[in-house]
């Protein structure tokens, strides 16, 4: 399938450039999605971050080269992207449990992390719950946007919500959202950028709620046009299975709008949902 072909082209690209500075924007372009979304998708499906996978592959090849050749440790470190022998030694020891010099001794046991490949997993015992929501009006979302570095978004966003809880923004949004519910999107909303294709080094992560009243002076307003959404309970599980199981076989593709993470009030079932903008596949 087209999705699998794109993902495996990404892995081929990574493998061909392990001895160079990795171009994360190029990786996202090959995958036909934003840098942020691909990084998130990869982490959800594989269980480790994209950067960690690349690090492990480089250290695997470095270990092979150390054992098979007489090349200097310094040259091998530089070849696989390390600025100094010290930083290479720390990373190597963390992965393999011993120093590069010790790895040259005969009979030494090392760890190899092979190249992965994407495949569709056909499972009959685990269904994937979802529903289709047609929102035939503009979504007016009021809140605050924060600038996020794309490559660190996966770690930065939880910190933004933690800060919002401490500085009172979260309570203010809750009061605006839940006192007068108007639609299924009545929850705390995390909107990633303004378009699906986040190709810049930074983007705006918008924390807000759907609100039709007069916007407070200290908050911003974001308008999302009417669209059709695939809605999945359990955000972490949804991210993990969305690209590998649902999208390839659904007959839909992602629309050029941001995904929205919805965090509902206490005792709401489910507690959170992922809203994914979709259009019929051409």
pLDDT digits (tens, 9 = 90+) for 179-189: 555 556 678 99
* pLDDT higher than threshold 80 for residue 147: yes
Average pLDDT of the segment spanning 112-127: 68
Share of the chain above pLDDT 70, in %: 89
Average pLDDT of the segment spanning 4-15: 88
72-76, long-range: CB < 8 A, 24+ apart: 73/100, 73/101, 76/100
The answer to whether residues 252 and 153 touch, using CB atoms and an 8 Å cutoff, is no
Average pLDDT of the segment spanning 101-107: 84
Confidence of residue 48 (pLDDT cuts 50, 70, 90): confident
* pLDDT higher than threshold 90 for residue 282: no
From the list 279, 148, 157, the residue with the least C-alpha distance to 225 is 279
Distance CA(9)–CA(163), nearest Å, equals: 39
Average pLDDT of the segment spanning 140-154: 86
Question: What pLDDT was estimated at residue 124?
Answer: 47
Question: What pLDDT was estimated at residue 73?
Answer: 94
The answer to whether residues 85 and 77 touch, using CB atoms and an 8 Å cutoff, is yes
Look at phi and psi of residue 193 and say left if phi exceeds 0, alpha if psi is from -120 to 50, else beta: left
Question: What pLDDT was estimated at residue 115?
Answer: 86
Average pLDDT of the segment spanning 19-42: 83
Give 52-81 pLDDT, tens digit per residue: 899 999 999 999 999 888 899 999 999 999
CATH 3.40.50.2300 is the classification of domain 131-280:
no
Question: What pLDDT was estimated at residue 241?
Answer: 78
The answer to whether residues 234 and 186 touch, using CB atoms and an 8 Å cutoff, is no
Average pLDDT of the segment spanning 121-140: 77
Backbone angles phi, psi at 4, to 5 degrees: -65, -40
* pLDDT higher than threshold 70 for residue 90: yes
Distance CA(244)–CA(237), nearest Å, equals: 12
Average pLDDT of the segment spanning 160-177: 90
Q: Which two tokens stand for residue 105?
A: 């001794």
Confidence of residue 268 (pLDDT cuts 50, 70, 90): confident
H or E stretch covering 171:
helix 169-178
Domains in the chain: boundaries: 2-104, 131-280
Q: In this predicted model, which residue has the larger pLDDT, 126 or 30?
A: 30
pTM tops 0.85: no
Domains 2-104 and 131-280 share a fold: no
Average pLDDT of the segment spanning 128-152: 88
Confidence of residue 170 (pLDDT cuts 50, 70, 90): very high
Give 196-226 pLDDT, tens digit per residue: 555 566 788 999 998 888 888 899 999 999 9
CATH class entry, domain 2-104: mainly alpha
Question: What pLDDT was estimated at residue 193?
Answer: 76
């Amino acid at each position: 399938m087209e999705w699998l072909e794109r993902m495996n082209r990404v892995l081929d690209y990574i493998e061909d450039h392990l001895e160079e500075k990795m171009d994360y924007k190029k990786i996202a372009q090959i995958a036909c999605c934003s840098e942020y979304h691909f990084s998130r998708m990869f982490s959800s499906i594989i269980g480790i971050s994209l950067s960690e996978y690349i690090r492990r592959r480089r250290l695997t090849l470095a270990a092979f080269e150390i054992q098979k050749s007489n090349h200097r440790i310094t040259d091998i470190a530089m070849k696989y992207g390390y600025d100094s022998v010290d930083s290479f030694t720390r990373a190597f020891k963390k992965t393999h449990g011993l120093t590069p010099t010790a790895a040259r001794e005969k009979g030494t046991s090392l760890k190899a992390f092979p190249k992965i490949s994407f495949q569709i997993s056909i499972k009959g015992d685990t269904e994937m719950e979802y529903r289709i929501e047609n929102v035939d009006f503009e979504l007016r979302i009021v809140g605050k946007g924060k600038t996020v570095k794309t490559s660190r978004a996966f770690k930065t966003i939880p910190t933004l919500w933690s800060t919002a809880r401490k500085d009172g923004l979260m309570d203010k949004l809750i009061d605006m959202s839940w006192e007068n519910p108007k639609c299924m999107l009545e929850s705390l909303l995390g909107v990633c950028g303004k378009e699906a294709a986040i190709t810049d080094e930074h983007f705006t992560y918008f924390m807000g709620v759907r609100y039709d009243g007069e916007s407070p002076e200290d908050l911003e307003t974001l308008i999302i046009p009417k669209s059709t959404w695939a809605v999945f309970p359990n955000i972490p599980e949804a991210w993990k299975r969305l690209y590998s199981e649902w999208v390839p076989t659904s007959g839909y593709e992602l629309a050029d709008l941001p995904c929205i993470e919805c965090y509902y009030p206490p005792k709401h079932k489910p507690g959170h949902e992922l809203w994914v903008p979709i259009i019929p596949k051409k």
